[in-house]
Amino acid sequence: MPPNTTASSGRKPGKSGRKKGRKARLFLIVLVLALFGGVAYGGYWGVSTVRASFPQTKGSLTLDGLSGPVDVKRDGNGIPQIYASSDEDLFMAQGYVQAQDRFYEMDVRRHMTSGRLSEMFGSGQVKNDEFLRTMGWDRVAKEEYDKKLSASTKKYLQAYAKGVNAYLKGKDGKDISLEYAALGFTNDYKPQEWTPVDSVAWLKAMAWDLRGNMQEEIDRSLMTSRLGPKQIADLYPEYPYSRNKTITQEGQYDSVTGSYVQGSGTTLGSGTQSTAGTGLAGNTTAPNGLQSQLSKLYNVLDNVPTAVGVNGNGIGSNSWVVAGKYTITGKPLLANDPHLSASLPSVWYQMGLHCTSVSSKCQYDVSGYTFAGMPGVVIGHNQDIAWGMTNSGVDVTDLYLEKITGEGYERDGKVLPFTTRRETIKVAGGADKTIVVRETKDGMPLLSDRDDELVKVGKKATVDSGAPDRGDGYAIALRWTALDPGNSMDAVFQLDRASNWTEFRTAAASFDVPSQNLIYADTNNHIGYQLPGKIPTRAKGDDGSLPSPGWDSKYKWTGYIKQSELPYEYDPKRGYIVTANQAVVDKDKYPYTLTTDWGYGTRSQRITDLIEAKIKGGGKISTDDMRQMQLDDSSEIAKLIVPKLLKIDVADKNVRDAQKLLEGWDYTQDADSAAAAYFNATWRNILKLAFGNKLPKELRVKGQCLNVAPVDTTGPADENQTVRECGQREADQAQPDGGDRWFEVVRKIIDDPNNDWWKAPKTRLDKAADNRDELFARAMKDARWELTAKLGKDMDTWSWGRLHRLFLKNQTLGTDGPGVLQYMLNRGPWRLGGGEATVNATGWNAAGGYGVVWVPSMRMVVNLDDFDKSKWINLSGASGHAYSAHYTDQTDKWAKGELLPWSFSGKAVDKSTSDTLVLKP
């Protein structure tokens, strides 16, 4: 079910012969459906089905519930701009139009958030549904809708749902999308009406993928089975505050007023920030039983379908804003490109929402990126301000080891009863399944209840002597801010109509989850940054980096950081703000531990350097300069390692020839670069030899087996005393993933050639490596022969893009459907430049291979001087219909780094309009 970009049977259409390719694919549909449904009937049915699901984009339609006519103007890429005379009409039309293009995607999303995937796809999704029901996203969303959201937000959600349902009225599945037609061969699923809660629940899925450091919390605990505390600390180095700048630089926490201030305040002493947490009642290692339990939990988490990210790992984004004094226009420029899973269709849907006349009756004139299934614009601009988002990465989840006694759990020596609820999962083509969900009084669900193995291991888990007696065993519970009802949906509409910095910050205050870095610019020449979110505070000594003992209440959250205490910047003297998942604030200027797992600032510092180089050179920054910065593919780790590689004396002529590729290389990772291909292969093998082969099996790639030293051995494996262990993790989730944490790990030891990490045991083909240069030489040799096998012996044919390919897959049937159906729904490959932790972050997992795993899911540059000169692009296209002209019509341009014109004013929209549909009451 989750998007998977490592393999595909799809093909990329070339520029020439697209009509022929489209006709050929249409013929294939007819052929396949003929085989399914009978030759005589199948040909006619296949063609009619494909055409029947395409939206009407011209003429007029009648929609019950509208108070006046609404114009839907689509440009040549099928991107709609909606014009209405009331808020309710505007959002009703948004629901109708998004359903026209993306209802199947919307339907899958709501089944995911509500734990009802089995209703659509059968028994293979029961385990996922069990976990999602345990989390209870839809239950929390309903409580938000009933008790938390403003009356106006509810009104907009109702109008949106009315529009979706107006589209669904009278339609069978095959009239909606090709996927429903395919599903019809295996079950009798029929789409149900949309509800306002379906839209609210989507924010929970988004928050789950952007939840912070839960994966790292599990990984650190799993590492204790094979690594000691010092080794684990080596692999999670401190953020390099002295080298890579934080987001906020001109403000700090004022201990006198108890708020965050800009330009003044009292610098905090070394004792004010929380020290590294220990969890587990003072242990820095996880109990052996818990290691196995966490491994099982990771497997459960890894199988949960992703909403926007890669199950919490590898997610990054870039955004930055430059003040008018440094731009050609004299007004700010704002850029944003969130890095998320590659999916088809893209998670984003471009759209404009315009009131024909902005007034109290109709308050919106906004354009940008939306989520199909949710009203409003998430990222973009209105007539006064622009904003962007990157994931802050703050730690809003904690795992707790719970002491189970009888039918309850222990807390401070007392046994408390669980709150329980029964959930019935309906299964297409199978029997219903009922589960019991247990929660603590804090609202923490027991995740370990969702796996029989977890229960068994929980009964055997060992802990330190301070823990309560084993009794009936231990379980794992989750504390997460998104499981508390909030009002993030209110924030979306507040952002859409904000006209200045004060209103922007007011909107940010409602943005409970997920916590995002929000950047800002306005037409009055101001720029800013705000960290929003419901961010927990913990007891001193507990930083949330390891699971905590639930039986001791001193480890519970102590509260939440106040809005007035959250870091921000407004018109900083330096004239720009960069956010790219780096640390938000210097640790000596802030009393709270926001997370122990920031991105390490590689991308953010590169963006900063590019901006400062332009400024210091006396130049002014243009919209195209911002676009070019987004495409920067310089490899920072190559700058560090290549000079060392070139000094190594290589005996093997073939390896020496490959080594020469690195001579004179400028460290850019173009798709056609042979040097980039060879360096990244060498980097991958360095990571494998120095670190990957020393990690426990739970973190290594599934199926990759090694002879390793027994657990109680700390040095290199003795060939006469080893055990066979095979990796257990999916390739795109394994470690070392090669991200900028690993850049920092290597940077710390690069000038220590005899460091123990540089040692690697001998194998049947290689002698032992005893130092850095011997390991590097072995990595260069391994890389040479790996690329020979993958790309051929002739290095003139090598290129990074041949290794580093993007496949776009339909989110459901494109991954789990029959091969021929995958062919019909999927597209690719595209050969890409860029790489891991570069500004052009086409991410790949070094443990698993070179395929593209996450991407800049969209790119935009907003010109605050003239919005019509802004630019944007989406990963795929506006349509979710596989044979629509707008299915992937933006992808070729996206891959080349091009941007599309972004019309905003009525005049510009009219000029770019290709089709107009009038919705009438």
For residue range 104-135, what is the model confidence (pLDDT) as tens digits? 999 999 999 999 999 999 998 999 899 899 99
- Does 288 have pLDDT greater than 80? no
Residue 448 has pLDDT above 50, yes or no: yes
Least confident interval from 222-226, 381-385, 463-467:
463-467
390 in Cβ contact with 319 (< 8 Å): yes
In terms of Cβ atoms closer than 10 Å to its own Cβ (0-12, 13-18, 19+), residue 484 is: middle
Separation in Å, CA 633 to CA 46, 732, 832, 841 = 44, 21, 11, 8
CB 463 within 8 A of CB 282: no
In this prediction, residues 348-373 reach a mean pLDDT of 97
Phi-psi region of 645 (alpha: psi -120 to 50; beta: other; left: phi over 0): alpha
Q: At 98, phi and psi to the nearest 5?
A: -65, -35
Q: How confident is the model at residue 451, as a pLDDT?
A: 67
Average pLDDT over residues 651-671: 97
Q: Report CA-CA distances (Å) from 390 to 315, 319, 593, 856, 897.
A: 9, 7, 19, 11, 20
The mean pLDDT of 757-765, rounded to a whole number, is 93
The confidence score (pLDDT) of residue 290 equals 56
- Would you place residue 279 in the very low, low, confident or very high pLDDT band (cuts 50, 70, 90)? very low
pLDDT exceeds cutoff 90 at 415: yes
Q: Which residue has the tokens 């989406």?
A: 874
Tell me, what's the pLDDT at 472?
55
Q: Which residue has the tokens 């969702």?
A: 450
* pTM confidence score: 0.90
Q: What pLDDT, in 10s, does the model give residues 505-546?
A: 999 999 998 889 999 999 999 999 999 999 999 887 676 667
Phi-psi category of residue 837: left, alpha or beta, with phi > 0 → left and psi -120 to 50 → alpha: left
**pLDDT of 276 above 90:** no
Counting residues of the chain whose pLDDT is more than 70, the rounded percentage is: 84
Res 717 pLDDT > 70:
no
Residues 127-167 pLDDT 10s: 989 989 999 999 999 999 999 999 999 999 999 999 999 99
| Residue 580 in this model has a pLDDT that exceeds 90 | yes
Taking only the tens place, the pLDDT of each residue in 308-357 is 555 445 567 999 999 999 999 999 999 999 998 899 999 999 999 999 99
Whether residue 30 has pLDDT greater than 60? no
Other C-beta atoms within 10 Å of 152: how many? 13
pLDDT bin (cut points 50, 70, 90) of residue 452 is low
What average pLDDT does range 453-474 have in this prediction?
Answer: 47
Q: Is the pLDDT of residue 307 over 70?
A: no
